Amino acid sequence: MRGIAEKVYIVTGAAQGIGKATASRLHEEGAQVVLADRNVSGVHRLEEEINGSGGRAFAVVLDVAIRESWSAAVGKIIEHFGRIDGLVNNAGLTRDRSLLKMTDEDWHSVVDVNLRGAWLGCQSVVPHMTTSGGSIVNLSSESRWGAFGQSNYSAAKSGLVGLTRTVALECARHGIRSNAVAPGATSTPMVEAVPEEVRNGWKSSIPMKREADPSEIASVIVFLLSDDASYVTGQILGVNGGSAI
């Protein structure tokens, strides 16, 4: 894809799942990729794998929900690469429970990581993109429309719509684009924890009758980061096998 090679992209939650697939795809496209996760061994393993095949990956330990963790990580990235061209706010988690059973802890942990983490990410990288532009991609979800047992996650993922669109409006004048990808069910460790019968129920309701492979989400994320999407901003792109038609 155009304009990816040699650029520096941060992928949060890069240790596994969609984040790992995105980092790997960026490496294949010739990018320099920052693997940011609170799973230290996971990002170091992927760093070794990518650099062992001739890539330029750099692992940083990051807890997206902590402002000081962002400052420390961005400091290291600037020291190492000297620039930041893009950010994928991918780190996420679920703590599913019905409304009346959900605790403050369930609410805060999910909203802090999925929504506030992305907001902190945007605040942290935008100052480094104002001269030569950049691209931000947030991971929303089909759950943004509302999902049983996910009042916390659904609120966070629909909150990302407002964040994505607002950053697009405020930062267009700096050449910074902001978009979101909203995947449907994707075969990652997050979803592999869900009981088989529940996953079979989802699959039967998806027009394409299957979950996405993480690489099918990664390719859309990398498209939005690339110059092939140079006039696309403020958009929420569903990648869901036809679920929301």
What is the closest distance, in whole angstroms, from the C-beta atom of residue 115 to ligand NAI in the complex? Answer: 10
What is the closest distance, in whole angstroms, from the C-beta atom of residue 167 to ligand NAI in the complex? Answer: 17
Give the residue with the Cβ less far from ligand NAI, 30 or 162.
162
Which residue reads 């240790």 in tokens? 15
Backbone φ, ψ for residue 22 (5° rounding)? -70, -45
User: Collapsing DSSP states into helix, strand and coil, what is residue 11?
Assistant: strand
CA dihedral 23, 7, 184, 211 (to 10 degrees): -40
Between the alpha carbon of residue 207 and those of residues 184, 210, 241, the distances in Å are: 11, 8, 6
What is the closest distance, in whole angstroms, from the C-beta atom of residue 63 to ligand NAI in the complex? Answer: 4
β-bridge pairing 236-239 and 86-89: unpaired
Q: Indicate which residue of 153, 156, 214, 239 is catalytic.
A: 153
What is the closest distance, in whole angstroms, from the C-beta atom of residue 169 to ligand NAI in the complex? Answer: 23
Give the residue with the Cβ less far from ligand NAI, 106 or 174.
106
In the numeric block, which tokens belong to residue 136?
């931000």
Give yes or no for a contact between 34 and 206, defined as CB atoms under 8 angstroms apart. no
Residue 104's H or E segment, with its range, is helix 104-111
Query: What distance, in Å, lies between the first and last C-alpha atoms of the chain?
Result: 28
Q: Is 153 noted as a catalytic residue in this protein?
A: yes
Give yes or no for a contact between 164 and 138, defined as CB atoms under 8 angstroms apart. yes
What is the closest distance, in whole angstroms, from the C-beta atom of residue 174 to ligand NAI in the complex? Answer: 25
Residues forming contacts to ligand NAI in the complex (CB under 6 A) are 12-13, 15-19, 37-39, 42, 62-65, 90-93, 113-114, 117, 139, 141, 183, 185-186, 188-191
- Active-site residue list: 153
